Structures are given as C-alpha cells and as structure tokens.
Amino acid sequence: MSLEKNIIIHWFRQDLRLCDNPSLFEAAKQGVVLPIYILDDDNPGLYQMGGASRWWLYRSLQELNRSLNGNLVIHNGDPKKILLNLVSENKIKSVFWNRCYEPWRIRRDKEIKKLLEAQNIKTKSFNGSLLWEPWDALKKDGAPYKVFTPYYRKGCLNEVSPRKPLGKPRNLNLYVELVNGLPIDNLKLLPTINWHEKLEPYWRIGETNAQKTFADFKDNCLNNYKKNRNYPALSSVSRLSPHLHFGEISPNQIWYDIKIKKETDSINHFLSEIGWREFSHNLLYHFPDLPYNNLQDKFDRFPWLENEDYLRCWQTGQTGYPLVDAGMRELWETGYMHNRLRMVVASFLVKNLLLHWHHGEKWFWDCLLDADLANNSASWQWVAGCGADAAPYFRIFNPCIQGQKFDPDGSYTKRFVPELKSMPNKYLFNPWEAPDAILQKADVLLGKDYPMPIVNLKLSRLRALEAFMSMK
C-alpha cells in the first residue's frame, strides 16, 4: 500500500506537543497523519475541566494548531461517534493515541478500541505522559505501593529506566485534504465574562513556551531548588505543572535533561517531586475512587462540619489569616498556588475549619490551571490524613508561624493582601495582636479593611484533635 493511502489518525489528548510524542512519532513513521483533537464533555461526568483549565486548553490548542500549520482537526462531543465517522469518511486504517489514566478515560478508551477493531481499524496506544506505567511499578507480590518512598526507590528507581525521549517526527506528512472540523472558538472554552483575562500576564502557553520555562528553571533555579522552593516570594519553583498536565512537555525530557547534570541534593529533590506526580497517578490507577472516597476508610466516620460562611471566606481569601488569604488570592489571581501555600491553605480548611477535603478538591479543580485528577485527589487526601502515605492528621500547619518562617520579609503576603502592605512584619501574620497605634499607623481597621480571624487557631486546633480522636 502506498504511503499516501495509509492514513493514520493521531488523536491528541493530554499530549499537546510535537516533540517526544510517541504516538505521533510512530504514526509519522507509518503513514500520513490526520491530527485531531476532541473536546469530550460527555464522558467525564463530575470531572469536566474547570474554568481555568479550559482557558489554558484554548491557548494551548491555538499554539498546537500553529505548529501543525493550521491542520489540526477539532471536534466537540463523544469521541466514539466522532472517531467512527472520521474513519469511515476518510478511509482511515489506523488510530493512534497516548494513554491517559483517569478512570473515565480508561473506560471510554477501552470501548473505543473495541468498536474500532470490530471494523478492522488498527488501534495502538502509547505512554506519553508517565515515566513508569502504573502496572509496572508494583511490589514483589504484585500489590500497588501505598507509601511514596518505597514506591519511588524500589518500584521506580530500581526497575527499568524510563524510555529515552524522542525528538520531533523526522517526516511529518499531514493529511491536508478537507476534513470537517470546528474552529477552536466553537469549543466555547472561554467564559462568558472576561475573568480569565487577569491570567494572561502570568503565563506563556504551548510547547515552545514550556521548553523555555524548563530551560529557565534549569539555568536559574535548579541549583538552589531544595532550599528555595519553600519560599513563595522567590522564583525558585519550575511552574511546569500546567505544561506537564496538558502534555506540552514530557516528563521523560525533563527527567533525562536533569539526570545528565551532576547529582546534587537539589537535583535529587526535584526528581523526587516528579516522582510524586508518578505516585499520584499510580494511586489513581489502582484506586479509581480516590477522587471521592477516603483511602483510609476510618475517615468515613470523621465528624466534618458544614459551614457555608467558613467555606466562602476560605475561597475568597477573607479568613483573617494573612498567609492563608494570600495563597487563596494568588490562586484566584493567577490560576496557580505555590506548593508551600497549597499545604497551608489545605490544612487550614480541613483542620482549623473542619470542612471536608472534597470542598477544597472541588475549588482547586475549578481554579487551578494545573488541575489534575490524580495530583489533586492524592494531595488533598494527603493533607487531610486519609490518603496514602498521608501526613498525620495531628500535623496542623500554623499559618502565623509558616508566614514568619517562609515569608520573613512579608513580600509575598503583602503582594496578594495589599490591605496590609504597611503593617510591620512583627504583626503581619497576626494583625489582631497589633496595638491600636500600630494598626492606625498602617491604616488598617480590622473588621473593615481586613477581616478579623474567623476561628481561633488554638481552639480550632484542639477541636480538630478531638474530632480525630473521636474516630477511635
């Protein structure tokens, strides 16, 4: 069969890149490639993409389409129907894709593969988003790991090395015949009100920008990563998480580009953070109810509170605890939150406010640009104490101490809580303890310019510990 007649669909999903894309690379080797993207809001159920993620996807698809010279074919709807129509109308012989690991996607993809193969359409899937497949990184008895350190050291590092990254396809011949598709705008990914415009200054999206972000991190931040990553005012984290989630860069490229450097504590620590991403996907694969059921079922008896006022204060950064509020406002302003702050605000929600981790998981899902079902679910369960390798429930972050320790000059907190920009650092994280003269000089009237604390730290901590003991 001639090359021109061997038309292969490469179905883009969470792999919005040309470099190190195993499915696209193999399709280009075997024939002419019809590149498609399908927005599937039919199958995810409760886990349709949140508003922030949809904005990122919009920009990322634009960049991908440019890199394909305007030949990306876009559809909206159920992929089962769309793919069957495409293969019948265009004499497609094969459909290739890179695997995704969310439970709903696994179910859907199995159905699609069965339907296509019933029509003698060759299907093939590849690993384009993980270093180690979840079914490979297992204990010797075949059981999945529930503790990170043995998972990473024994299940990953002592097993087969991740595949080496591929370059761009050497000869990417695209199928340029007329194929019905949609303009990107028809996907209606952007909200009707322009709240997303505030995100624009903070991010550069797409494969080229992902590579630049990674290069900048390697050159300027990696050497001091282990220490500086804890300080939110410093530009010392990679900010690669949304690029990784949408597949604008592969973990394999990151892994091997870092591994060629001389080993240091900072390099090992950064690689272990990539390992945590792998661990989260491993947990979701083996425990598909991770997004909604406690991994430790004893927490099913936990006496959570329901308090809409508390929840709204937390969501909007009006808790009266400046570091917590700074983190929540950073999230709303930028679609991102520094990892140290993610731990602080999550601890405050589930422990000081005694609100179920589901509330936090859902809010993060809608507001985070890097909202990822595996990472989001595993991380919230970790903080709540009910997940795998979880932080002990009695480990309760004190936002005042955390602020003094990790934002010592207050520059991060004052950036996102400008009402307190004139507060001296001594009282920045506990303004309710400041003498009246200090508050007046800083032009802060508590309860008017900035809220009083919605709970007492000491009393809420004791209440949380009592609730934890009640499960026994």
What residues are paired with 75 via a beta bridge?
Answer: 38
Summarize pLDDT for 162-185 with one digit per residue, the tens: 999 999 999 999 998 888 899 999
- Say if CB 22 and CB 166 are below 8 A apart: yes
Summarize pLDDT for 188-222 with one digit per residue, the tens: 999 888 888 999 999 999 999 999 999 999 999 99
Summarize pLDDT for 110-136 with one digit per residue, the tens: 999 999 999 999 999 999 999 999 999
- CA 353/CA 66 separation, integer angstroms: 47
pLDDT at residue 38 in the model: 98
State the average pLDDT over residues 255-276. 94
| pTM recorded for the entire structure | 0.95
Instruction: Spell out the alpha helix ranges (H) of 288-354.
Output: 308-316, 322-334, 339-347
- CA 451/CA 323 separation, integer angstroms: 13
pLDDT at residue 179 in the model: 85
Summarize pLDDT for 339-366 with one digit per residue, the tens: 999 999 999 999 999 999 999 999 999 9
Summarize pLDDT for 378-406 with one digit per residue, the tens: 999 999 999 987 677 788 999 999 999 99
Summarize pLDDT for 27-85 with one digit per residue, the tens: 999 999 999 999 999 999 999 999 999 999 999 999 999 999 999 999 999 999 999 99
Q: Please report, for the chain, the start and end positions of each structural domain, with discontinuous segments joined by +.
A: 3-127, 130-165+207-286, 297-470
- Crossing angle for the helix pair 322-334 and 339-347, nearest 10 degrees? 120
Q: Which fold has domain 130-165+207-286?
A: 1.25.40
Nearest C-alpha neighbor of 58 from the set 44, 37, 79: 37
Nearest C-alpha neighbor of 401 from the set 442, 360, 430: 430
State the average pLDDT over residues 453-467. 96
pLDDT at residue 355 in the model: 98
pLDDT at residue 244 in the model: 98
- Crossing angle for the helix pair 265-286 and 373-384, nearest 10 degrees? 100
DSSP-derived secondary structure letter, 125: E
The radius of gyration of the chain's CA atoms, rounded to the nearest angstrom, is 24
- CA 368/CA 349 separation, integer angstroms: 17
Nearest C-alpha neighbor of 236 from the set 254, 257, 211, 218: 218
Domain spanning 297-470 has what CATH number?
A: 1.10.579.10
Mean pLDDT of the chain: 95
335: left (phi over 0), alpha (psi -120 to 50) or beta: left
Cα of first residue to Cα of last residue in the chain, in angstroms, is 69
4 has pLDDT over 70: no
pLDDT at residue 3 in the model: 41
Nearest C-alpha neighbor of 272 from the set 248, 251, 296: 251
Q: What does the angle CA 329 – CA 332 – CA 335 come to, to the nearest 5 degrees?
A: 120
**Which H or E run includes 273?**
helix 265-286
State the DSSP string of 356-378: -HHHHHHHHHHH-TT--HHHHHH
- Say if CB 42 and CB 35 are below 8 A apart: no
Instruction: Spell out the alpha helix ranges (H) of 7-147.
Output: 22-30, 51-67, 79-90, 103-117
Location of structure tokens 């917590």: 324
Nearest C-alpha neighbor of 189 from the set 311, 305, 37: 37
Q: Which fold has domain 3-127?
A: Rossmann fold (3.40.50)
89 has pLDDT over 60: yes
Mapping DSSP to helix (H, G, I), strand (E, B) and coil, where does residue 355 land?
A: strand
pLDDT at residue 394 in the model: 80
- Say if CB 326 and CB 349 are below 8 A apart: no
1 has pLDDT over 50: no
pLDDT at residue 2 in the model: 41
- CA 148/CA 139 separation, integer angstroms: 12
- CA 76/CA 79 separation, integer angstroms: 8
